[in-house]
C-alpha cells in the first residue's frame, strides 16, 4: 500500500529539510527518559487514583519492592511526586508519595494511554472502566485542540523551532543528534526509557535519596512479617 498520501505533521523552517537533522533531545525524549517506563506509568496511575503509601504502590502495581522504590525515587527526582513524612501511633516515621502540580500535568498522558488501550487493545468485553466528568456526567476523553478551540488532526499540526530556540541560535540545531543513552540531560537521569529495573543514579539528591526509599521498602517488609500480602 502506498504511503505517499499518509498524513504527517507539517515541518517548517530549518525542520522542513527532514533528512538533514535528527532530534534526540526533544521534549518527548526528555519526558520518556524521566517517566517513560511501564512501572513509572502504572505508579502514576495509582497516584492519580489516590494511592500514597509505598506498600500500596508496590502491591497494586504488582512489582517488587526494589522496583517500586527505584521508580518512585525517579518520579520524586523529576518532581512528579513529593515525599511527605507520616507516622502512625506506635510506629516509626515513614513517607508517603503525593502528586505535585508537575505530576498532575501528566494526567493527559495517562488518559491518552488509557484511551489508546480502550480503542485498540481491549478484549471482547470492551474497556474495563469508564471515565466521566463528576459535575455533569459526560464522558471524558483526550483530544488535540489549538488554543482557538479547533480540532487539530495530524496533517494540520505544524512543527517548527520555538521562538526562544531561534533567538538563541536554534537554527544550528538542524543536524544535531544528541548524546548517548546514558547521558544525563538537564538533571534528568538518562537511559530510563527502556523500562529496566535498575535504579537511576542521581536520585539520591531529590526527595531523600536511595536510603530513604530503601527504608520504605524495608519497613514495608517488616510490617508484613507474619502475614500474607494481598495482590490487587
pLDDT digits (tens, 9 = 90+) for 150-189: 999 999 999 998 887 666 665 444 444 344 444 333 333 3
Sign of the C-alpha dihedral computed for residues 120, 122, 123 and 125 taken in this order: negative
Strands (E), the chain: 10-11, 81-86, 94-99, 158-159
Residue with cell 526527595: 207
**Three-state secondary-structure class, residue 84:** strand
Of the two residues 195 and 66, the one the predictor is more confident about is 66
**pLDDT for 60:** 98
Nearest Cα to Cα of residue 57 among 90, 92, 31, 95 = 95
When the pLDDT of each residue in the chain is averaged and rounded to a whole number, the result is 79
Helix (H) or strand (E) holding 121: none
The span from the CA of 188 to the CA of 35, in Å, is: 10
Query: Using alpha carbons only, what angle is made at residue 205 by residues 201 and 207, rounded to the nearest 5 degrees?
Result: 110
Nearest Cα to Cα of residue 37 among 210, 200, 206, 202 = 200
**pLDDT for 4:** 66
Which grid coordinates belong to 129? 472502566
Domains of the chain: 14-224 (1.10.10.10)
CA 90 to the chain's CA centroid: 35
Q: What is the pTM for the complete model shown?
A: 0.72
Of the two residues 194 and 28, the one the predictor is more confident about is 28
Amino acid at each position: 500500500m502506498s504511503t505517499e498520501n499518509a498524513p504527517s505533521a507539517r515541518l517548517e523552517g530549518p525542520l522542513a529539510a527532514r533528512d538533514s537533522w535528527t532530534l534526540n533531545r526533544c521534549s518527548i525524549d526528555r519526558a520518556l527518559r524521566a517517566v517513560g517506563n511501564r512501572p513509572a506509568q502504572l505508579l502514576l496511575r495509582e497516584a492519580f487514583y489516590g494511592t500514597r503509601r509505598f506498600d500500596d504502590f508496590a502491591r497494586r502495581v504488582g512489582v517488587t519492592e526494589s522496583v517500586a522504590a527505584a521508580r518512585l525515587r525517579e518520579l520524586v527526582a523529576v518532581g512528579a511526586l513529593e515525599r511527605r513524612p507520616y507516622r502512625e501511633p506506635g510506629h516509626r516515621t515513614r513517607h508517603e508519595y503525593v502528586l505535585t502540580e508537575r505530576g498532575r500535568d501528566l494526567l493527559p498522558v495517562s488518559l491518552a494511554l488509557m484511551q489508546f488501550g480502550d480503542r485498540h487493545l481491549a478484549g471482547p468485553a470492551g474497556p474495563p472502566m469508564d471515565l466521566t466528568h463528576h459535575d455533569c456526567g459526560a464522558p471524558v476523553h483526550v483530544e488535540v485542540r489549538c488554543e482557538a478551540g479547533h480540532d487539530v488532526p495530524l496533517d494540520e499540526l505544524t512543527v517548527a523551532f520555538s521562538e526562544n530556540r531561534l533567538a538563541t541560535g536554534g537554527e544550528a540545531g538542524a543536524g544535531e543528534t544528541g548524546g548517548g543513552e546514558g547521558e544525563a540531560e538537564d538533571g534528568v537521569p538518562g537511559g530510563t526509557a527502556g523500562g529496566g529495573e535498575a535504579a537511576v543514579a542521581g536520585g539520591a539528591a531529590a526527595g531523600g535519596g536511595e536510603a530513604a526509599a530503601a527504608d520504605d521498602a524495608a519497613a514495608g517488609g517488616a510490617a508484613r512479617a507474619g502475614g500474607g500480602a494481598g495482590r490487587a
